[in-house]
Chains A and B, each alone.
Chain A
Amino acid sequence: MFPKDMLSLEDFSREALEDIFQRAAYFKQKNPDNFSSLKGKTIALSFWEPSTRTRLSFEMAVHKLGGKVVHVTPELSSEQKGESIDDTVKTLQSIGADALIFRHRTPGLFNRVASLVDIPLISGGEGCYQHPTQALLDIFTLREKGIDLAGKQVVMVGDILHSRVARSHFYAFPLFGAGLTLVGPPSLLPQELVPPGVDYSYHLEDVLPGGDIIYLLRVQKERQEKGLIPSLSEYSALYGLNEERMSLLKQEACLMHPGPVNQGIEISAIVIKNLEQFYPDRILFQDQVQNGVFVRMAVLDLLLAGRSV
């Protein structure tokens, strides 16, 4: 029922994802660190791209399941050559790793290297391609809050073009019945990118009133340097969530962000502060981080279940 690897959510049926959520809920409810399903197992983590929360979250998940983590810090200089990653992957299997958790900036890389080994490869973010566990923990968080996604409208704002989170959600949100509207400047939201059945707009004000979930994506300084936006402040003026725009939202609409948040760009500091103080249930940023651990535990548990030590 489960594929060997988790590279793209599209390889997983809704039933498989429900199993993951059920397992994650169980882990969260039991929380003490005395699970043993990864006891005696070693999970190799290679993050070729900077990451704090995803790496820590996976690491914590392995620990909580009783497994061991080995960090592979590849030489960045030799990493350009495809062969060296191939070698790394095969070496990790040979020395006894039971699963691989990778992050890399090259889309399509995992697809290729996963086929070189028998052990599972779990994506911790692959270029602009997919970030499956992020989408899973988002859905899990919403459902935990009692939000039934069927018929709800998700408004996703920001750098859609470079977002692997968005690409995972192109599958995940519709799978659970939610409508999706993408918002951003045309340079970061090419029309050809918009999947069938998904809406888009260049004007945040037009779509905010219809949103039940406002999903903010990180906009990086690099986009300004590449000339895709005039500047971060220009971006913020057009697409930042400020107090004025907050007034357009439905009363119960909640905010999500895959983190880390650029305060003052995607969302103003004052909006965050107000929400945290007066409407903590509407800002899910910390819930997402917390649930990340349990969802990743569930993924590890289920992908490794039944595999011999």
Chain B
Amino acid sequence: MDLLLKGGILHDPVNGWEGPAEILVKGNRIEAVSISLGPVEAPALELKGKIILPGLVDAHVHLREPGGESKETIASGCAAAVAGGFTAVACMPNTDPPVDSREIVSYIKEKARHAGLARVYPLGALTRGQKGEEIAPLWELAEEGVRGFSDDGRPVMNSALMLRAMQFALVLGLPVISHCENLALSGGGVVHAGAAGYRLGLPGMPGVAEAVMVAREILLQQQVGGKLHLAHISAKESVDLLRWAKEKGVNLTSEVTPHHLLLTEEAVEGFNTNAKVNPPLRAAADREALLEALQEGLIEIIATDHAPHNPREKEADFLNAPFGVIGLETAFPLLWTKIVEQGILSLAELIKCLSIAPANLLGVPGGNLAPGMPADLVVIDPQKEGLVQPDKFYSRGRNTPFEGWRLKGFPVLTMVDGDIKMCDGKVKGFSRDFPAALENLLNNAKD
């Protein structure tokens, strides 16, 4: 359907737009953008006081399907995505079975199509079965449409194998996404090797366990070229290496998560398993280094590493509880309240991190609301305040360390491919209140 969005403030940095705009959506595309479009034959949505952004793109989520449906399904993960303003997500291949064959890629795409909410870009395994022993069928996976390769969660320890895999990814023009962790150095750790974890008697993972692998990837990338992306950077030592790599002109990108930007190791106090994550929440100095790196542009992407678990699994003891926190439904309000409103990044810079750069990394449309582009956008209400309430999440996971935080800037409308998927917090096909919310919106629009 056609729709006119008027009265809102558009932030579209790629096209240099930052101000009031009327946007005409025709079918699944942006038809026109102007300060005033004049008379238009389409229902008009009044968005006074709201902010319109290109749809958010998350380069790093775990949708768990196939094999982990008690933690999340592609449908529930996509519902969480559009609820949080994400119009596209790249899902990691550590499913069961892992994404190392055409059939699994096709299965995920089919499930995502059926869910009909966010765009889902599968990532393929870098090695067969993510076992780190032989290179996965990268060409086959690329043919089926994966947008990158990763053994996320199971770092490739064999440096020669990593080099070869990067070489083939180069030929295919797709990024390699590395989870940087030296398993011998992190061996058995469940928290940052720092004061908070040590006080609790929990085995620690030092920052250097990440940094030595960051160093390896940088050096391999110098040899190979192509696209390299470093997932969830968490340690100050890694930031130093990124700075060196940029000075040397090494072609790579990296990401940081909202939880590493906003929390420290103290969050594990009281053996809080909802703060158990890999890489671990680190010391205050690490967090400061990450914030600086983000401001300097050393780290280009913010990704959630949305890692849902069945709530029962997180009720286990800290040592045995699984790693991971969810992020799709909290990322934007967290970053708006704690990063933009605090003056750490401008909104335009945040859009680069959350939309433009991840779309570039994946080589997909997004981060751009110029006429002719797919109508993937999100409307934010900067005044809408609320508490983080895990029992209200669309995700099957409840494992957030941000429970009870009071935040602003919640998304109020998410449009994917010209279709409204979320309206006033209600997700299409998931909330029985969605049809009423949409009707209400459109009725007002006809007035």
Closest-CB distance, A6 to chain B (whole angstroms) = 16
We find that the number of chain B residues with CB closer than 8 angstroms to chain A is 19
Partner of A190, one of B201, B204, B316, B319: B204
List 6 A–B pairs whose Cβ atoms lie within 8 Å, in order of A's numbering.
Answer: A108-B200, A109-B317, A129-B202, A190-B193, A192-B204, A193-B199
Q: Does B244 contact A (CB under 8 A)?
A: no
Q: A interface vs B, CB < 8 Å?
A: 80, 82, 106-109, 111-112, 126-130, 161, 164, 167, 170, 190, 192-193, 195
A193 CA / B283 CA spacing, docked (Å): 13
Q: Is the CB of B320 within 8 A of A82?
A: yes
Would you list the 9 A-B pairs with minimal beta carbon distance, nearest first? Answer: A128-B201, A108-B271, A129-B201, A107-B201, A193-B198, A108-B318, A82-B316, A192-B194, A109-B317
Residues of A near B316 (CB, < 8 A) are: 82
A193 CA / B316 CA spacing, docked (Å): 25
- Of residues B195, B270, B315, which shows the largest number of chain A Cβ atoms within 10 Å of its Cβ? B195
Q: Summarize B's interface: helix, strand, loop or mixed.
A: loop
Residues of A near B195 (CB, < 8 A) are: 192-193, 195
**Inter-chain residue pair count (beta carbon < 8 A):** 55
Nearest-CB residue, chain B, relative to A166 = B201
A125 CA / B39 CA spacing, docked (Å): 76
Q: Give the contacts of B363-421 with A (CB-CB under 8 A).
A: none
Nearest-CB residue, chain B, relative to A192 = B194
A109 CA / B321 CA spacing, docked (Å): 11
Beyond A82-B317, A108-B319, A112-B317, whether A192 also contacts B193 by CB under 8 A is yes
Residues of A near B194 (CB, < 8 A) are: 192
Residues of B near A130 (CB, < 8 A) are: 201
Q: Is the CB of A167 within 8 A of B199?
A: yes
Residues of A near B202 (CB, < 8 A) are: 107-108, 128-129
Partner of B317, one of A108, A161, A170, A192: A108
Q: Is the CB of B318 within 8 A of A107?
A: yes
A111 CA / B201 CA spacing, docked (Å): 13
Closest-CB distance, B271 to chain A (whole angstroms) = 3
Closest-CB distance, B208 to chain A (whole angstroms) = 12
A128 CA / B204 CA spacing, docked (Å): 12
A82 CA / B321 CA spacing, docked (Å): 9
Residues of B near A107 (CB, < 8 A) are: 200-202, 271, 318-319
Residues of A near B200 (CB, < 8 A) are: 107-108, 129
Q: Is the CB of B201 within 8 A of A127?
A: yes
Closest-CB distance, B284 to chain A (whole angstroms) = 12
Q: Is the CB of B193 within 8 A of A106?
A: no
Partner of A164, one of B201, B283, B315, B320: B201
Residues of B near A193 (CB, < 8 A) are: 195, 198-199
